[in-house]
Chains A and B, each alone.
Chain A
Amino acid sequence: MSDHPQNDHGHHHDHDHDKTFQPDHAEPTSEAAHIGLALRELLLEAGHYTLAEERAVMTRMQGASPENGALIAARAWTDPAFKDRLLSAGNAAIGELGFDLAPTEFTVLENTDTVHNVVVCTLCSCYPRALLGMSPAWYKSKAYRSRVVREPRQVLHEFGVELSGDVAVRVHDSTAELRYMVLPQRPAGTEDWSLDQLKTLITRDSLIGTQRDLSIG
Protein backbone atom coordinates (compact mmCIF):
# COMPACT_ATOMS: atom_id res chain seq x y z
CA MET A 1 0.00 0.00 0.00
CA SER A 2 1.14 3.48 -0.71
CA ASP A 3 1.01 6.19 1.86
CA HIS A 4 -1.94 7.86 0.11
CA PRO A 5 -5.23 7.92 1.97
CA GLN A 6 -7.35 5.00 0.79
CA ASN A 7 -10.00 7.10 -0.93
CA ASP A 8 -7.54 9.18 -2.91
CA HIS A 9 -7.51 7.46 -6.31
CA GLY A 10 -4.59 9.48 -7.54
CA HIS A 11 -6.49 10.58 -10.63
CA HIS A 12 -9.13 13.12 -11.40
CA HIS A 13 -12.68 12.16 -12.12
CA ASP A 14 -12.90 14.42 -15.11
CA HIS A 15 -15.10 12.15 -17.21
CA ASP A 16 -18.61 13.47 -17.24
CA HIS A 17 -21.18 10.88 -16.17
CA ASP A 18 -23.08 13.61 -14.41
CA LYS A 19 -23.46 15.70 -17.52
CA THR A 20 -24.28 13.00 -20.03
CA PHE A 21 -26.44 10.64 -18.00
CA GLN A 22 -30.05 10.41 -19.13
CA PRO A 23 -32.52 7.99 -17.58
CA ASP A 24 -34.12 5.50 -19.96
CA HIS A 25 -37.54 6.31 -21.26
CA ALA A 26 -40.10 4.56 -19.09
CA GLU A 27 -41.50 1.35 -20.54
CA PRO A 28 -44.95 2.05 -21.99
CA THR A 29 -47.62 0.89 -19.59
CA SER A 30 -50.76 2.84 -20.40
CA GLU A 31 -53.18 1.75 -23.07
CA ALA A 32 -52.71 5.08 -24.85
CA ALA A 33 -48.94 4.59 -25.01
CA HIS A 34 -49.32 1.12 -26.54
CA ILE A 35 -51.82 2.44 -29.08
CA GLY A 36 -49.40 5.24 -29.96
CA LEU A 37 -46.52 2.85 -30.56
CA ALA A 38 -48.70 0.46 -32.58
CA LEU A 39 -50.06 3.32 -34.66
CA ARG A 40 -46.56 4.51 -35.52
CA GLU A 41 -45.53 1.02 -36.62
CA LEU A 42 -48.64 0.66 -38.77
CA LEU A 43 -48.12 4.05 -40.41
CA LEU A 44 -44.53 3.13 -41.25
CA GLU A 45 -45.52 -0.35 -42.45
CA ALA A 46 -48.28 1.06 -44.68
CA GLY A 47 -45.83 3.53 -46.16
CA HIS A 48 -47.48 6.74 -44.98
CA TYR A 49 -44.02 8.00 -44.12
CA THR A 50 -40.52 6.58 -43.93
CA LEU A 51 -38.08 6.30 -41.05
CA ALA A 52 -35.84 8.78 -42.85
CA GLU A 53 -38.68 11.31 -42.98
CA GLU A 54 -39.45 10.74 -39.32
CA ARG A 55 -35.80 11.31 -38.43
CA ALA A 56 -35.71 14.52 -40.49
CA VAL A 57 -38.73 15.90 -38.64
CA MET A 58 -37.23 15.01 -35.24
CA THR A 59 -33.96 16.69 -36.17
CA ARG A 60 -35.75 19.81 -37.34
CA MET A 61 -37.87 19.98 -34.18
CA GLN A 62 -34.85 19.51 -31.94
CA GLY A 63 -33.02 22.25 -33.81
CA ALA A 64 -35.84 24.73 -33.23
CA SER A 65 -35.54 27.20 -30.36
CA PRO A 66 -36.80 30.58 -29.12
CA GLU A 67 -33.71 32.08 -30.79
CA ASN A 68 -35.54 31.73 -34.10
CA GLY A 69 -38.38 33.83 -32.75
CA ALA A 70 -35.88 36.33 -31.34
CA LEU A 71 -34.32 36.74 -34.78
CA ILE A 72 -37.74 37.32 -36.37
CA ALA A 73 -38.74 39.86 -33.70
CA ALA A 74 -35.43 41.74 -33.84
CA ARG A 75 -35.69 41.88 -37.61
CA ALA A 76 -39.19 43.35 -37.29
CA TRP A 77 -37.87 46.00 -34.87
CA THR A 78 -35.16 47.09 -37.27
CA ASP A 79 -36.99 46.77 -40.60
CA PRO A 80 -40.47 48.37 -40.70
CA ALA A 81 -41.29 46.95 -44.13
CA PHE A 82 -40.49 43.44 -42.89
CA LYS A 83 -42.65 44.07 -39.83
CA ASP A 84 -45.60 45.02 -42.04
CA ARG A 85 -45.17 41.84 -44.09
CA LEU A 86 -44.77 39.77 -40.91
CA LEU A 87 -47.99 41.09 -39.36
CA SER A 88 -50.04 40.72 -42.54
CA ALA A 89 -48.69 37.41 -43.94
CA GLY A 90 -46.54 35.59 -41.41
CA ASN A 91 -45.65 32.50 -43.44
CA ALA A 92 -44.32 34.44 -46.40
CA ALA A 93 -42.35 36.82 -44.18
CA ILE A 94 -40.56 34.13 -42.18
CA GLY A 95 -39.96 32.30 -45.44
CA GLU A 96 -37.60 35.17 -46.30
CA LEU A 97 -35.52 34.06 -43.31
CA GLY A 98 -35.66 30.39 -44.24
CA PHE A 99 -38.42 29.27 -41.86
CA ASP A 100 -41.46 27.25 -42.91
CA LEU A 101 -44.45 26.44 -40.72
CA ALA A 102 -46.91 25.56 -43.50
CA PRO A 103 -49.60 24.27 -43.63
CA THR A 104 -50.27 26.06 -40.33
CA GLU A 105 -50.68 29.86 -40.59
CA PHE A 106 -47.98 31.67 -38.68
CA THR A 107 -49.56 34.69 -37.03
CA VAL A 108 -47.67 37.47 -35.26
CA LEU A 109 -49.39 39.63 -32.65
CA GLU A 110 -47.90 43.03 -31.96
CA ASN A 111 -47.77 44.45 -28.45
CA THR A 112 -48.28 48.21 -28.27
CA ASP A 113 -48.58 50.84 -25.53
CA THR A 114 -52.31 50.01 -25.32
CA VAL A 115 -52.45 46.28 -26.19
CA HIS A 116 -50.88 43.24 -24.56
CA ASN A 117 -51.20 39.85 -26.28
CA VAL A 118 -50.96 36.44 -24.64
CA VAL A 119 -51.25 33.02 -26.31
CA VAL A 120 -52.82 29.79 -25.07
CA CYS A 121 -54.20 26.55 -26.47
CA THR A 122 -57.11 25.64 -24.23
CA LEU A 123 -57.93 22.38 -26.02
CA CYS A 124 -54.44 20.85 -26.02
CA SER A 125 -51.03 22.48 -26.38
CA CYS A 126 -50.70 23.92 -29.91
CA TYR A 127 -47.47 25.88 -30.19
CA PRO A 128 -45.19 26.87 -33.11
CA ARG A 129 -42.88 24.04 -32.07
CA ALA A 130 -41.07 23.68 -35.39
CA LEU A 131 -40.01 27.31 -35.02
CA LEU A 132 -39.63 27.91 -31.26
CA GLY A 133 -38.86 24.40 -30.02
CA MET A 134 -40.65 22.63 -27.21
CA SER A 135 -43.20 24.66 -25.27
CA PRO A 136 -42.63 25.11 -21.54
CA ALA A 137 -44.36 22.63 -19.23
CA TRP A 138 -46.58 25.34 -17.73
CA TYR A 139 -47.94 26.17 -21.18
CA LYS A 140 -49.39 22.65 -21.31
CA SER A 141 -50.67 22.67 -17.73
CA LYS A 142 -54.39 22.59 -17.05
CA ALA A 143 -54.01 25.53 -14.69
CA TYR A 144 -52.55 27.86 -17.33
CA ARG A 145 -54.89 26.68 -20.10
CA SER A 146 -58.04 27.06 -18.05
CA ARG A 147 -57.15 30.23 -16.13
CA VAL A 148 -55.50 32.51 -18.69
CA VAL A 149 -58.69 32.74 -20.75
CA ARG A 150 -60.94 33.77 -17.88
CA GLU A 151 -58.59 35.68 -15.58
CA PRO A 152 -55.70 36.76 -17.81
CA ARG A 153 -54.72 39.75 -15.70
CA GLN A 154 -54.36 37.65 -12.57
CA VAL A 155 -52.32 35.00 -14.42
CA LEU A 156 -50.11 37.69 -15.97
CA HIS A 157 -49.64 39.23 -12.52
CA GLU A 158 -48.40 35.85 -11.31
CA PHE A 159 -45.86 35.91 -14.17
CA GLY A 160 -44.74 39.38 -13.02
CA VAL A 161 -46.61 41.34 -15.68
CA GLU A 162 -48.38 44.38 -14.20
CA LEU A 163 -50.80 46.07 -16.59
CA SER A 164 -52.52 49.39 -16.05
CA GLY A 165 -56.20 49.74 -16.88
CA ASP A 166 -55.47 51.53 -20.18
CA VAL A 167 -53.71 48.47 -21.59
CA ALA A 168 -56.17 46.02 -23.14
CA VAL A 169 -55.44 42.31 -22.81
CA ARG A 170 -55.98 40.16 -25.89
CA VAL A 171 -55.98 36.44 -25.22
CA HIS A 172 -55.48 34.28 -28.32
CA ASP A 173 -56.85 30.74 -28.12
CA SER A 174 -54.99 28.58 -30.63
CA THR A 175 -57.88 26.26 -31.44
CA ALA A 176 -57.20 25.25 -35.04
CA GLU A 177 -54.65 25.92 -37.79
CA LEU A 178 -52.94 29.14 -36.73
CA ARG A 179 -49.73 29.28 -34.71
CA TYR A 180 -48.89 32.43 -32.81
CA MET A 181 -45.94 34.49 -31.72
CA VAL A 182 -46.12 37.77 -29.82
CA LEU A 183 -43.95 40.62 -31.08
CA PRO A 184 -42.81 42.30 -27.85
CA GLN A 185 -42.11 46.03 -27.69
CA ARG A 186 -38.58 47.19 -28.35
CA PRO A 187 -37.17 48.59 -25.11
CA ALA A 188 -36.29 52.27 -24.89
CA GLY A 189 -32.57 52.96 -24.98
CA THR A 190 -31.80 50.40 -27.71
CA GLU A 191 -32.00 52.79 -30.68
CA ASP A 192 -28.33 52.28 -31.54
CA TRP A 193 -28.28 48.53 -31.00
CA SER A 194 -27.46 46.09 -33.79
CA LEU A 195 -29.77 43.25 -34.79
CA ASP A 196 -27.44 40.75 -33.10
CA GLN A 197 -27.55 42.74 -29.85
CA LEU A 198 -31.32 43.13 -30.00
CA LYS A 199 -31.83 39.39 -30.48
CA THR A 200 -30.30 38.67 -27.09
CA LEU A 201 -33.02 40.68 -25.31
CA ILE A 202 -35.92 38.56 -26.51
CA THR A 203 -37.04 35.72 -24.28
CA ARG A 204 -39.26 32.73 -24.90
CA ASP A 205 -41.87 34.00 -22.45
CA SER A 206 -42.04 37.38 -24.20
CA LEU A 207 -42.88 35.51 -27.43
CA ILE A 208 -45.80 33.77 -25.65
CA GLY A 209 -46.89 36.94 -23.87
CA THR A 210 -46.26 35.96 -20.25
CA GLN A 211 -43.53 38.60 -20.13
CA ARG A 212 -44.08 42.19 -21.34
CA ASP A 213 -41.06 44.35 -20.53
CA LEU A 214 -37.69 43.23 -21.82
CA SER A 215 -34.68 44.07 -19.70
CA ILE A 216 -31.67 45.75 -21.27
CA GLY A 217 -29.76 44.86 -18.10
Chain B
Amino acid sequence: MTSPRFFVGQAVRIAKRQPSVHHRVPAYAKGARGVVERVCGEHGQPERFIRGDGAPATRLYRVRLDQRELWDNYQGSTDDCLDIEIFEHWLEPA
Protein backbone atom coordinates (compact mmCIF):
# COMPACT_ATOMS: atom_id res chain seq x y z
CA MET B 1 0.00 0.00 0.00
CA THR B 2 1.26 3.45 -0.82
CA SER B 3 0.06 6.50 1.09
CA PRO B 4 -2.51 8.65 -0.72
CA ARG B 5 -1.15 11.70 -2.51
CA PHE B 6 -4.34 13.71 -2.01
CA PHE B 7 -6.47 14.30 1.08
CA VAL B 8 -10.18 14.78 1.70
CA GLY B 9 -11.17 18.38 0.99
CA GLN B 10 -8.19 19.08 -1.28
CA ALA B 11 -8.85 21.00 -4.48
CA VAL B 12 -7.85 18.92 -7.52
CA ARG B 13 -8.07 19.02 -11.28
CA ILE B 14 -8.85 16.02 -13.45
CA ALA B 15 -6.31 15.67 -16.24
CA LYS B 16 -7.35 16.46 -19.79
CA ARG B 17 -5.84 13.82 -22.02
CA GLN B 18 -6.95 11.15 -24.42
CA PRO B 19 -5.07 7.85 -24.06
CA SER B 20 -5.43 5.54 -27.04
CA VAL B 21 -6.34 2.64 -24.73
CA HIS B 22 -9.46 1.96 -22.67
CA HIS B 23 -9.75 4.32 -19.70
CA ARG B 24 -12.45 5.22 -17.23
CA VAL B 25 -12.63 9.01 -17.26
CA PRO B 26 -15.66 10.30 -19.16
CA ALA B 27 -15.10 13.21 -21.52
CA TYR B 28 -17.33 15.59 -19.56
CA ALA B 29 -15.09 15.32 -16.47
CA LYS B 30 -11.74 15.85 -18.22
CA GLY B 31 -10.20 19.15 -17.19
CA ALA B 32 -12.80 19.70 -14.46
CA ARG B 33 -11.87 21.11 -11.07
CA GLY B 34 -13.29 19.61 -7.89
CA VAL B 35 -12.63 18.60 -4.31
CA VAL B 36 -11.63 15.18 -2.97
CA GLU B 37 -14.78 13.76 -1.34
CA ARG B 38 -13.20 10.53 -0.08
CA VAL B 39 -10.07 8.48 -0.41
CA CYS B 40 -10.90 4.95 -1.60
CA GLY B 41 -8.78 1.81 -1.91
CA GLU B 42 -6.11 0.80 -4.41
CA HIS B 43 -7.20 -0.95 -7.60
CA GLY B 44 -5.78 -1.98 -10.95
CA GLN B 45 -5.49 0.75 -13.55
CA PRO B 46 -8.04 0.35 -16.35
CA GLU B 47 -5.42 1.45 -18.92
CA ARG B 48 -3.15 -1.44 -17.90
CA PHE B 49 -5.57 -4.37 -17.85
CA ILE B 50 -4.94 -4.93 -21.54
CA ARG B 51 -1.49 -6.21 -20.57
CA GLY B 52 -2.37 -8.18 -17.47
CA ASP B 53 -3.67 -7.40 -14.02
CA GLY B 54 -3.72 -3.61 -14.15
CA ALA B 55 -0.61 -3.31 -11.98
CA PRO B 56 0.50 -1.22 -10.27
CA ALA B 57 -2.52 -1.02 -7.99
CA THR B 58 -3.35 2.66 -7.85
CA ARG B 59 -5.19 4.84 -5.35
CA LEU B 60 -8.78 5.66 -6.23
CA TYR B 61 -10.61 8.79 -5.08
CA ARG B 62 -14.09 10.24 -5.27
CA VAL B 63 -14.01 13.79 -6.53
CA ARG B 64 -16.94 16.18 -6.04
CA LEU B 65 -17.66 18.47 -8.95
CA ASP B 66 -19.90 21.54 -8.91
CA GLN B 67 -22.67 21.01 -11.47
CA ARG B 68 -22.77 24.71 -12.39
CA GLU B 69 -19.10 24.61 -13.36
CA LEU B 70 -19.52 21.39 -15.28
CA TRP B 71 -22.34 22.37 -17.61
CA ASP B 72 -23.41 25.56 -19.37
CA ASN B 73 -26.83 26.76 -18.23
CA TYR B 74 -27.16 24.09 -15.54
CA GLN B 75 -30.68 24.14 -14.09
CA GLY B 76 -30.66 23.42 -10.38
CA SER B 77 -29.58 24.48 -6.94
CA THR B 78 -26.20 25.92 -6.03
CA ASP B 79 -25.54 22.85 -3.87
CA ASP B 80 -26.08 20.34 -6.67
CA CYS B 81 -22.97 18.27 -7.29
CA LEU B 82 -21.64 15.26 -9.13
CA ASP B 83 -19.35 12.73 -7.43
CA ILE B 84 -17.08 10.70 -9.66
CA GLU B 85 -14.40 8.03 -9.12
CA ILE B 86 -10.98 9.08 -10.43
CA PHE B 87 -7.62 7.28 -10.14
CA GLU B 88 -4.65 9.12 -8.68
CA HIS B 89 -2.69 9.27 -11.94
CA TRP B 90 -5.54 11.36 -13.41
CA LEU B 91 -5.43 13.98 -10.64
CA GLU B 92 -3.26 17.02 -10.10
CA PRO B 93 -3.44 19.68 -7.37
CA ALA B 94 -5.59 22.66 -8.36
Residues of B within 8 A of A152 (CB): 67, 76, 80
What per-residue 1/0 map shows which CB atoms of A140-155 lie under 8 Å from chain B?
A: 0000000001111110
Known: A105-B41, A123-B26, A165-B77. A178 touches B85 (CB 8 A): yes
Q: Is the CB of B75 within 8 A of A171?
A: no
Q: A59 at the A/B interface (Cβ < 8 Å)? A: no
How many chain A residues have a CB neighbour from B under 8 Å?
Answer: 25
**Residue in chain B with minimal CB distance to A91:** B41
A43 at the B interface (CB under 8 A) = no
Contact A176-B46, Cβ < 8 Å, known A105-B40, A123-B24, A150-B71: yes
How far does the Cβ of A146 sit from chain B's closest Cβ, in whole Å? 9
Q: Are A176 and B81 in contact (CB under 8 A)?
A: no
Given the contacts A173-B26, A177-B43, A154 and B80 also touching, CB distance less than 8 Å: no
B contact set with A: CB distance below 8 Å: 24-26, 28-29, 40-41, 43, 46, 60, 62, 67, 70-71, 74-77, 79-87
Residues of A within 8 A of B (CB): 103, 105, 114, 122-123, 149-154, 165-178
